[in-house]
Structure 1
Amino acid sequence: MSVPPEKPGRIVVGIDGSQSSQHALRWAVRQAEMTHSVVNAVIAWECPPLYGSIGWSEGPRELAAHLKEQARTTLDETITKVVGARNAAKVETTVAYGTAAAALLEAARDASLLVVGSRGHGGFTGVLLGSVSQHCTQHAPCPVVIVRGHGQ
């Protein structure tokens, strides 16, 4: 009786274009090579509600389309910068609507590992742990690795 080959693991990594997320992607790619896993780089975007004379409303569709495209561009540029154009196709990508923490937790539902940087673009400089990474460590359905960059 033969044992079926094990399905490769999936490592989800959060990307926002920051130095911290670049370090996280670099770490995730190395880990995937060692464990024969697949890397899924995830970026989130959301259209902020606008307040006007009639109260809160959704932003114009053009704004939403622009924000989604900007997220895609940031994701692609980060992957190319970290792994090179030649290896970029090896990294699966997800552009998700919503908050970063919610998108990462959703993507990690069937993942073997979730990797995030210690701080992204938001928050205060010098904070040891960002709100997204902290939320992920408390709610993720899989192990979480928080990668600190040089000088952090």
Structure 2
Amino acid sequence: MEIDSGVVVGLDTSASSLRALTVAAEEAERRNAVLHVVRAWSMRTAPRPADCPPNAIPSTEAFQREVERETAKLVADKLGDPPKVPVEIHVAHSPSPQALLSASRGADLLVVGHRGRGGFSGLMLGSVAEQCVRHAACPVLVVRPMV
């Protein structure tokens, strides 16, 4: 994925990532920058395409299209249509940390939620957020939940 400046945010449908999306859009507006929404997916996490027969396995391309469609809808629902800032959606069939770290190479700021869809509830940071804080090529903003 090719990103040349702007604010990058990781989105995975969790409440934490949707809050990160809102904060990232505000930051992009302050900076007069493009908001890059990065959604990584796997066969396990991708939404099933509605037009796929019940006993069939969707193709990678069908999953990719469905993830793109769902991500665009999440962005429009959360930020409005059209949003206040230019938005580019990047969908990657990749583990989340790799997709976000790759995007961070060209970003001015990476925004992530503090806990995503993982199952390790006792962690102070989610594993993806922790990897981003440790290895990103740009500053990282970890968005905590509303308290």
Q: Identify the TM-score tier after normalising by the shorter chain.
A: 0.7 to 0.9
Equivalent in the alignment of 2:97: 101
Equivalent in the alignment of 1:145: 141
Q: Is residue 131 of structure 1 aligned with residue 127 of structure 2?
A: yes
Determine the C-alpha separation between the residues in 2 that align with 1:70 and 1:149. Answer: 28
Runs of 4+ aligned structure 1 residues displaced above 4 Å come to none
Q: Of 11, 14, 20, which residue of structure 1 is paired with 2:10?
A: 14
* Larger-Rg structure: 1
8 Å contact kept, 2:5–2:106: no
Comparing both structures, which one devotes a greater share of its residues to helix? 1
> How many Å apart are 1:90 and its aligned residue?
2.3
- What is the percentage of aligned positions where both structures have the same residue? 38
Q: Is residue 43 of structure 1 aligned with residue 39 of structure 2?
A: yes
TM-score with structure 2 setting the length: 0.80
8 Å contact kept, 1:41–1:94: yes
Runs of 5+ unmatched residues, structure 1:
1-7, 49-59
Amino acid across the alignment from 2:104: A
> How many Å apart are 1:130 and its aligned residue?
0.6
Q: How many residues align?
A: 133
Equivalent in the alignment of 1:120: 116
> How many Å apart are 1:121 and its aligned residue?
1.3
Change (3 A) 1:85 1:136: same
Amino acid across the alignment from 2:127: S
> How many Å apart are 1:38 and its aligned residue?
1.1
Comparing both structures, which one devotes a greater share of its residues to strand? 1
Determine the C-alpha separation between the residues in 2 that align with 1:125 and 1:78. Answer: 24
TM-score with structure 1 setting the length: 0.78
Amino acid across the alignment from 1:73: R
Q: Is residue 24 of structure 1 aligned with residue 17 of structure 2?
A: no
Equivalent in the alignment of 1:33: 29
Amino acid across the alignment from 2:110: L
Report the aligned-residue RMSD: 2.2
